[in-house]
Amino acid sequence: MPDALPRPEPFTQQTAPAALEDLRARLRATRWPDAPEDAGWSLGTDLAYLRELVAYWADGFDWPAQEAALAQLPRFRARLGGLGIHFVHARAVAPAGPVLPLVLSHGWPDSFWRYAKVIPLLTDPGAHGADPADAFDVVVPDMPGYGYSDRPTGPPLNSIAVAGLWAELMGVLGYERFGAAGGDIGSHVSRYLALDHPDRVVAVHRMDGGLPVFAGDPADLTPEERAWFEGAAAWGATEGAYGAMHRTKPQTAAFGLTDSPAGLAAWIVEKLRAWSDCDGDVERRFTKDEILTNVTLYWLTGTIGSSMRMYHANGAIPPEQLTRRVEVPSGFSLFRGDIVRPPRAWLERTANAVFVTEPARGGHFAPFEEPELYAEELRAFFRPYRPAATD
């Protein structure tokens, strides 16, 4: 007999008071580094800002309230590939026609948190001024080693392996055909879902084209593509040190970031600021409560090390995998404030790009920064790929 499908179980989490007491004690005992006068954010996280954030984290931030808010999402765990996978599974509310299932894949440094604001807009568009016919069933998993999913005890999983898990998860949930969307590492996972499961993925939406990998003759690239390659290399030289650490020696960084909540906050908040459409003021896009909800998830689950190790796994993906062309209909929303934005010529070279837009607001974390705008991008792209009433 075939093995029974994994059975998703409802998931709730309530942090023990002792864990919060330990966190506050560590925050109050932070040993602060010095910083040059007027350095600001030029050398990394600004000392004055982080002192302010940590003080609020220790004495003002209400984690139980944030935990209760996240508990309003329909959350589950299922065993896939030997790992417990945590996910949100929110069904369409009063849909006006057949519903398209959609799996959303997050990136680093976040978790299912990235999509917390946009889920109700996707499942119940009619309640938010949009067409009820655009409702989705939404699945948002935490990748292995992120959030409330298990940490792999053996080699870290790469994006190809995670895409395989998501295909299995969608089958467990009864979805034979579905859409996929994501950004950052989640863009890679969505890409491999389309590459390896084209019979099941009806269309794929991404917020980026990944970092450029090209095995052909550089003379065949358009001027715009060559300029993008040069820009991506320049960005890597000035902003890519975190990624080099993650790919090569993630465990070394994990010791300090797992032991010091202030250090963990510094590692994450600098990226929230640098990669969002905030014009240098991170709190134009994220309140302190929102920042600290994301960081506290990492702290309480102890997943900063395991999340970084995925970069190491992805760094070992063979080049022939990185240069495969996606033939599934592909959409790209390149938000104004995001990093390393590819030209259309590159998107068309690497994918069946049928939809390319450049929203005027939002950055790397657009589902959180601009949930209404991101939801409209997904509605517009996936509309032609919805199941017909007779399907």
List residues with catalytic annotation. 184, 311, 364
CA separation for the pair 173, 177 (Å, rounded): 11
Backbone dihedral angles phi then psi of residue 78, each to the nearest 5 degrees: -145, 150
User: Which residues have CB under 8 Å from 149's CB, separation 6+?
Assistant: 83, 84, 85, 86, 141, 142, 143
Looking at the chain, which runs of residues are DSSP E strands?
9-10, 75-80, 83-90, 100-105, 136-141, 178-182, 201-206, 326-333, 351-357
Q: Are 139 and 389 in contact (CB under 8 A)?
A: no
The neighbour count for residue 82, using CB atoms within 10 Å, is 10
- Helices and strands per DSSP (H, E), number in the chain: 16, 9
Q: How far apart are CA 128 and CA 121, in angstroms?
A: 6
* Tokens found for residue 319: 């080049």
Classify burial at 168, counting beta carbons within 10 Å of its beta carbon; exposed 0-12, middle 13-18, buried 19 or more. middle
Within 10 Å of residue 234's Cβ, how many Cβ atoms? 12
∠ CA 321-231-324, rounded to 5°: 15
Residues in the chain: 391
Q: Which residues pair with 356 in a beta bridge?
A: 332
What is the spatial distance between Cα 267 and Cα 276, in angstroms, rounded to a whole number?
A: 15
CB 221 within 8 A of CB 212: no
In the three-class reduction of DSSP (H, G, I as helix; E, B as strand; rest coil), residue 189 is classed as helix
113 and 147 in contact (C-beta within 8 Å)?
Answer: yes
Question: CA–CA separation, 90 vs 123, rounded Å?
Answer: 7
Q: Please tell me the distance from the alpha carbon of residue 346 to that of residue 75, in angstroms, as a whole number.
A: 37
Phi/psi for 289 (5° steps) reads -60, -40
